[in-house]
Amino acid sequence: MSVQHAEQNSYLQNLLNGHPKLETGKQAWLNALRSDAVEAVSKLTIPTTRDEEWRFTDLSMLTKMSLQPAQATVKLAAADIQRFHIKEAENRLVFVDGVYAAHLSTINNSLITLNNLSSLLDKRGALLHAHLAQQVNSEGNVFAALNTAHLRDAALIMLPRDTQAKAPVHLLFIATQKEVVSYPRTLVLADNGCEATVIEDYVSLQDEAYFTNAVTEFVLADNARIHHVRVQREGAKAFHIANCAATLSRSSNYQSVSIAMGARISRYNLNVKMAEGAECSADGLAMISARQLADTHTCIDHAQPHAISRQLHKCIVDGGAHAVFNGKIMVRRGAHHTDSQQSNHTLLLTDKAHIDTKPQLEIFNDDVKCTHGATIGQLNLDEVFYLQSRGVSHEHARNMLTYAFGAEVIERISVASLKHSLEQTVLEQTSAPI
């Protein structure tokens, strides 16, 4: 074993410390899941920039940190988190430093089962067993394995057949302590023909460094429709690594909008696997400045015929920030009549801003319609000129167009108050005059 490997191992062993002790009980499968994950971690290392998948995202700063799960829970009052409330959401699950906070959570909708892992194990153990950790695999994914090894509290949303949850479900993950690692975990089981909006929201009440390592899984049965909104607004020194996977059955529909604004270093992996006739959109906006790095890796897997995918990923890079986008579209043998469109547009606001972008089309079929396009650039001069010709100053015109560039993605969020507050954030950051 090389010295480096040994060092890595001790770092990972350290991260494994404090994973839940195995209890003997009827939920043996859960213990097995955790211990398999512990086993998986021991075979893996923290990726370096020599790994193709991590070429542009250097985690050495993360490995220099001493991290542990929250030892004591910070008792927050409802007023402390008031500003994060989304008024449309009737249901809210709140996790503080990874620990479920029942007193801050609100569960109103009797139609859907919305719960924390421990309280659901007895009643729905079999269902959980069938799906938990089945979409995001521990194998070869050290961060997913670490998350599963620490699996204790989780947000579980079960949407019954043919129901429509009109109000969105808000999952709020709050960081309050420095040098703490949390393992947010979400599982959404959408039964046939149901409809719902799920908001995954990462926020911080402090500015020191910490680490969020999240895993989110969606299972959509036939004809289910899910709108997934993901907002990453972590603290400025945070590390945020998240793995999300969605498995789409026949004719189901998964619309996701992911906004990355926070964290010093963030990485989001999204994998969508589509069955026949499924539809998905996987839109994203990374808006970063100073020395932030935001890395998004997506893989949309057209496993069967007649599936439709749409992807619009945008980056606004200011200061000396660095954005990464890797968008893979896979069309498997036999996935006839696949219809896929991907576009990635990046706005670099300074000379030092940086983007690495790579569309990756892997098509094993003839009979498909796949388009992709990427643009990288400064603001369009014709657009700036148009606004100037209406009396708007050059600076205001630039700010307004920067805002509009980002707003195109934010507009796709169906929750009005969240959309509005994110638009306000972008307005403030761009100093747009409207």
Partner 1 sequence: MIYADSRTILEVRNLCASVEGTPILKNMNFTVKSGEVHAIMGLNGSGKSTFSKVLAGHPDYEITSGTVIFEGKNLLEMAPEERARAGLFLAFQYPIEIPGVGNSQFLRLMYNTVQTHRGKDELDPLEFDDFVREKMKLLEMREDFLDRSVNAGFSGGEKKRNEILQMAMLEPNLAILDETDSGLDIDALRIVAQGVNQLANKDNAIIMVTHYQRLLNYIVPDFVHVMVDGRIIKSGGKELALELETRGYNWVSDEFKAASRVAA
Q: Which residues bind partner 1 (CB under 8 A)?
A: 380-383, 385-386, 388-394, 396-397, 400-401, 403-408, 410-411, 423, 433-434
CB of 34 to partner 1, least distance (A): 45
3-state SS record for the chain: CCHHHHHHHHHHHHHHCCCCCCCCCCCHHHHHHHHHHHHHHHCCCCCCCCCHHHCCCCCHHHHCCCCECCCCCCCCCHHHHHHHCCCCCCEEEEEECCEECHHHCECCCCCCEEEEHHHHHHHHHHHHHHHCCCCCCCCCCHHHHHHHHCCCCCEEEEECCCCECCCCEEEEEEECCCCEEECCEEEEEECCCCEEEEEEEEEECCCCCCEEEEEEEEEECCCCEEEEEEEEECCCCCEEEEEEEEEECCCCEEEEEEEECCCCEEEEEEEEEECCCCEEEEEEEEEECCCCEEEEEEEEEECCCCCEEEEEEEEEECCCCEEEEEEEEEECCCCCCEEEEEEEEEEECCCCCEEEEEEEEEECCCCEEEEEEEEEECCCHHHHHHHHCCCCCHHHHHHHHHHHHHHHHHCCCCCHHHHHHHHHHHHHHHCCCC
CB of 395 to partner 1, least distance (A): 10
Nearer to partner 1 (CB atom), residue 160 or residue 433: 433
Nearer to partner 1 (CB atom), residue 101 or residue 401: 401
CB of 200 to partner 1, least distance (A): 23
Nearer to partner 1 (CB atom), residue 124 or residue 419: 419
CB of 16 to partner 1, least distance (A): 45
Burial class of residue 366 in the structure, from the number of CB atoms within 10 Å of its CB (0-12 exposed, 13-18 middle, 19+ buried) = exposed
CB of 407 to partner 1, least distance (A): 3
Nearer to partner 1 (CB atom), residue 349 or residue 361: 349
Nearer to partner 1 (CB atom), residue 225 or residue 314: 314
CB of 411 to partner 1, least distance (A): 6
Nearer to partner 1 (CB atom), residue 371 or residue 380: 380
Nearer to partner 1 (CB atom), residue 83 or residue 377: 377
CB of 392 to partner 1, least distance (A): 6
Nearer to partner 1 (CB atom), residue 82 or residue 389: 389
CB of 376 to partner 1, least distance (A): 19
